[in-house]
Amino acid sequence: MKKSIGILGGMGPLATADLFRKIVLLTDAARDNDHIRIYIDDNASIPDRTAAILSGGADPLPAMTDSLRKLEACGADCIIMPCNTAHYFLPRLQALTDVPFLSMLEASASACRARFPGRTAAVLATKGTLAAGLYQQVLTAQQVPFLVPAPPEQDALMRIIYDGVKAGKSPDTYRADMESVLHALSAQGADYFILGCTELPLAAELLGLHVPTVDPTTELAKAVIRFCGYSVNE
């Protein structure tokens, strides 16, 4: 029996739209009726996840739980979140429901191991994701070599994510930051880059980057398509 998807979104809205678009594009479908039923709660009022992890900001769990309950009420058979940093709260959310969450992080680590065996990844992510060790844990578990950005590169990534993509600014405003991050991590031995914040695949597309990457939004889309009993359009 085919399953439906609940997207716990709004973190941020453009990243939510990107995930929905990628699910539609990657589903092997010849007509409208061949696509997956998807429920989306684009709750942009969810407090910032990095601020909650690093500096005692408002706890996003109550607002995330509200979205979870709405998706349960719709009848979603699984739930996904287009926000890497939000996965810090996934264990607490999963404990509140019998509806399974699919992890963007796990899907990305599996893709790294399959596509770049023995090669070194650089984890591009928010300070919250990096401080919580979210990617470090899943990559270590799957024996994927990796590097994490030094503080100056972390600062640059935060500017790209918050002052650039989330703020709707032109890619030219953050091109230099992205180039400096890629150069610094390549010099340290990175062979490819995990775009470990859902704003970063959007930035990479707008900038026209031509470096090897793993896009967690794409990997989550593929994983949830298969989970729901559909085929991926490779």
User: What are the tens digits of pLDDT across the range 204-219?
Assistant: 999 999 999 999 999 9
Q: Please report, rounded to a whole number, the percentage of residues in the chain having pLDDT higher than 70.
A: 100
Domains in the chain: how many in total?
2
| 24 vs 32: CA distance, rounded Å | 10
| Residue listed under structure tokens 């005692």 | 56
- Mark whether 157 and 122 lie in a shared domain: yes
Assigned domain for 234 exists: no
83 is known as an active-site residue: yes
| 207 vs 119: CA distance, rounded Å | 24
| 192 vs 120: CA distance, rounded Å | 7
CA count, 13 A, side-chain hemisphere, 94: 13
Assigned domain for 36 exists: yes
pLDDT digits (tens, 9 = 90+) for 106-146: 999 999 999 999 999 999 999 999 999 999 999 999 999 99
Question: What's the residue count for the chain?
Answer: 234
Give the burial class of 229: count Cβ atoms within 10 A of its Cβ; 0-12 exposed, 13-18 middle, 19 or more buried: exposed
Tell me the average pLDDT across 95-108.
98
1 has a pLDDT exceeding 90? no
Assigned domain for 142 exists: yes
Q: Which domain holds residue 23?
A: 5-104+218-227
Beta-bridge mates of residue 121: 146, 192
- Mark whether 149 and 207 lie in a shared domain: yes
74 is known as an active-site residue: no
| 39 vs 56: CA distance, rounded Å | 31
Q: State the catalytic residue, choosing from 74, 78, 112, 197.
A: 197
- Mark whether 179 and 201 lie in a shared domain: yes
- Mark whether 109 and 93 lie in a shared domain: no
Q: State the catalytic residue, choosing from 78, 83, 112, 228.
A: 83
pTM above 0.85, yes or no: yes
**8 A C-beta contact, residue 84 and residue 157:** no
